[in-house]
Chain A
Amino acid sequence: MSFFKKLKDRVSGQTDTVTEKFKDGLAKTRDSFAGKMNDLMARYRKVDEDFFEELEELLIGADVGVETVMELIDELKTEAKRQNIKDTSELAPLISEKLADKLDKSGEDNTIQHAADGMTVILFVGVNGVGKTTTIGKVAQKYKEEGSRVVMAAGDTFRAGAIEQLEEWGNQVGVDVVKQQAGSDPAAVMYDAIQSARSKGANVLLCDTAGRLQNKVNLMKELEKVKRVIQREIPEAPHEVLLVLDATTGQNAMSQAKTFQEATDVSGIVLTKLDGTAKGGIVLAVRNELDIPVKFVGLGERAEDLQPFDSNQFVYSLFKEIMEAEEENETDES
């Protein structure tokens, strides 16, 4: 059975709406990526150096890290030689298989870790403007709809209007926000939030933090302290530290992931703004080199557009048209 079929089987086990969401959200991404891929396959019938070079450019154009692309191309070349693949159409499934491989480390959990009993604490970190507060608002709505009791901690005490932004989300969703004045110590806000969430009997505490560039040593130290304070109050918390990455970010995402991981031991990634033309290929590199799973993707403005990440879905959406074309071929042949 071809890889595409396997992938499709895995995907079709899921509800259609989820697949639809991915498809719609990734429409722009897919149009350009799959379109170019098809175009490439059409122009090159034979697998040769030129073909690989263009493939390399295609992947780099999707912000897949240079190093990861080189690695991928090398693997493909070896594989093509080993299986004696000469026709580009035969290589297509191999490409998507390798891509899915890189995104999907076996035996790994893409779901959010919850506290065995008591309150689950999720800490959101990231550079400025990636969408931390918005993501928290969306996650809060999700939990709320599931019937959880949610509290949000306004830990971004630095940026003007950040506390108000979270409060507005709180009003919209109907969730309590624990806050202090602008400019106060974010670690103190976390302490307050934990106490308050406990007394309210909350199941989920979502902690916002100020955006910070990863090369600001003092700000990264501040973040370490925030985490330490949470840990002191609840030893096994935070149960998740989610790094929010903007899909439009290029190679710098790598440096972000590395540094934030060092400071706060990031347990998962939220990839936002995937509904634009950016392809977020950098998650491949991050996944490949740093081993941090992607847990959520932002596919649009609405709360329900924040979806749990599924590497099969992701790759399936990217390659859908190619797969359908291949299926037709297969039915023709049989």
Chain B
Amino acid sequence: MAFEGLAERLQGTLDKIKGKGKVTEADVDEMMREVRLALLEADVNFKVVKKFIKQVKERAVGQEVLKSLTPGQQVIKVVNEELQELMGGEQSKIAHADKPPTVVMMVGLQGAGKTTTVAKLANHLRKEHNRQPLLAAADIYRPAAIDQLETLGKQLDMPVYSLGNQADPVDIAKGAVAQAKDEHRDYVLIDTAGRLHVDEDLMGELQRIKEAVQPEEILLVVDAMTGQDAVNVAESFNEQLDVNGAVLTKLDGDTRGGAAISVKAVTGMPVKFAGMGEKIDQLEPFHPERMASRILGMGDVLSLIEKAQTDVDEDRAKELEKKMRQADLTFDDFLEQLQQVKKMGPIDEVLSMMPGANKMKGLKNAQVDDSQITQVEAIIRSMTRAEKEDPSLINASRKKRIAKGSGTAVKDVNRLLKQFEDMQKMMKQMSSMQKGKGKKKGKNPMQFPFMQ
């Protein structure tokens, strides 16, 4: 698969380091190469990547990673932190003028999703901020663009200002603002025609609209799937119009959305909103921290790492680990392990934070039921001490008793026993595989693939 996340990418390098006990600068170099590829594959502009890598490397070589026992996690952490910093902190709100109406202008390339975003933003302003917007149809070039906005206006039950497709977009914008003043509207959202940033005539038109209506906010609408060219587009729109912020559209696709970083890094304009679907209410405030891990293709690994670190009792974990190695895990240990996992939060939340989990079939949108874990707990708690230590004792009549005691059916008990047996088998295999591989650092009992 071409699109591995950073965690998977780093895996190979980390496997090599694992046996070494010490991480050298060369190892860090190799990791940085993987980080670079991961970012490039996410469509982050290569110039931005270059600068970024330099920064991360400095931090990595400066102790943080080298001295850490878990270099893999550390690298990911550093990369993620730097990425978030690059993307800016809190998502910014939309401006509003001291004296209404606030004029907002949407600009961007063809097909970025300006018209849809105008409607979504109007809906957002009304729903979340209780504002009354007026939509202005200033895209006179694309066939039926005005129809599109009018249809959306009807769906929203919101007024749309239009002068047809023969009028000058500047007049349309002016007219809309005047009407909004008369009708005491809070916002005017101007939809402009899509245009190439190198098209001087059309860029000039945008400047004229800007002159005429002095918008408080100019939003650049950027398709999240944009590649390396995002930098040129953003720079050029920003130079000519002094854009205040960006809206990232089509983020509900499977793109990594590296364009978001490129735009922010090159122009400094914050991404304010994200389009998350075709429906009119699917516009969300932009969360830089979520975007960072998305670009790295790793779910919310960082919070998971943090959770695991704070919630898991180190000593108990080590003991469990030893038992697992020796493959003499009992139901008591199993129960304990379950509780450790549960401490980290609802299982589906934990799963959703795992990289690759959303790629696995079956796990996608899996509704993991925490009550199932409760059921497993109940079954185990209904066992006698002897049974817990040696499950082979459990015969048919014991099963019946356990089922009754835990309020489950015999088949549930059977299923758990079978699972437990499989687990033990697997552990035996694993421990025999690991023998003779030399001394290893203590491992976390929960072996998620990205944890080292």
Contact = CB atoms under 8 A, between A and B. Distances in A.
B111 A129 contact: yes
A20 B56 CA distance: 46
A160 B111 contact: no
Nearest to B280: A160
A158 B42 CA distance: 30
Contacts of A60: 40, 46, 228
Contacts of A216: 252
B227 A249 contact: yes
Given A57-B46, A128-B113, A169-B143, A250 B198 contact: no
A128 B143 contact: no
Given A61-B46, A161-B151, A252 B112 contact: no
A79 interface: no
Interface stretch (B67-75, B254-262, B387-395, B443-451): B254-262
Contacts of B151: 160-161, 182
A127 B225 contact: yes
Contact of A161 (B147, B197, B278): B147
Contacts of B254: 213-215, 252, 255
Nearest to B111: A129
Contact of A160 (B148, B198, B229): B148
Contacts of B233: 248, 276-277
Contacts of B266: none
B95 interface: no
A60 to B, nearest CB: 5
A279 B256 contact: no
A270 B226 CA distance: 17
A251 B196 contact: no
Contacts of B142: 134, 165
B252 to A, nearest CB: 6
A253 B50 CA distance: 23
Interface stretch (A63-71, A108-116, A303-311, A312-320): A63-71
A289 B2 CA distance: 11
Interface in A99-138: 127-131, 134, 137
Interface string B38-72: 00111101110010000000000000000000000
A194 interface: no
B3 A255 contact: yes
A235 B43 CA distance: 40
B226 A277 contact: no
Interface in B27-44: 37, 40-43
A176 interface: no
Contacts of B2: 65-67, 251, 254, 289
Contacts of B45: 61
A273 B111 CA distance: 10
B252 A249 contact: no
Nearest to B152: A160
Contact of B228 (A61, A129, A214, A252): A61
Given A165-B143, A215-B254, A252 B148 contact: no
A215 B229 CA distance: 23
A278 B145 CA distance: 24
A275 B148 CA distance: 25
B167 interface: no
Interface string A39-65: 000000000000000000100111101
B144 A164 contact: yes
B204 interface: no
A251 B37 CA distance: 12
Nearest to A169: B143
A168 B256 CA distance: 36
Interface residues of B, number: 50
Contacts of B12: none
A159 B113 contact: no
A277 B232 contact: yes
B148 A246 contact: no
A193 interface: no
B227 A248 contact: yes
B113, B148, B196, B250 pick with most chain A CB within 10 angstroms: B196
A168 to B, nearest CB: 4
Contacts of A251: 2-3, 41-43, 227, 255-256
B407 interface: no
Interface string A249-288: 1111111000000000000000001011111001000000
Contacts of B252: 213, 215-216
A28 B198 CA distance: 9
Contact of B227 (A131, A164, A282): A282
Contacts of B278: 128, 158
A167 interface: yes
B258 A250 contact: yes
Nearest to B112: A129
A248 B250 contact: no
Contacts of A254: 2
Nearest to A60: B46
Contacts of A159: 148
B250 A249 contact: no
Contact of B109 (A65, A127, A248): A248
Contact of A63 (B50, B149, B227, B253): B227
8 contacts: A61-B228, A129-B113, A160-B148, A161-B148, A216-B252, A251-B256, A276-B109, A277-B198
Interface of B: 2-3, 37, 40-43, 45-47, 50, 109-113, 115, 142-152, 155, 196-198, 223, 225-230, 232-233, 250, 252-256, 258-259, 278
Interface of A: 28, 57, 60-63, 65-67, 127-131, 134, 137, 158-162, 164-165, 167-169, 172, 182, 213-216, 246, 248-255, 273, 275-279, 282, 289
The 8 closest A-B pairs by CB, nearest first: A250-B227, A161-B148, A129-B111, A168-B143, A250-B43, A164-B144, A165-B144, A160-B151
Given A168-B144, A172-B143, 19 more contacts: A60-B228, A61-B45, A62-B228, A128-B111, A129-B250, A137-B143, A161-B145, A161-B146, A161-B147, A165-B147, A213-B252, A246-B225, A248-B229, A248-B230, A250-B227, A251-B41, A276-B196, A276-B198, A279-B228
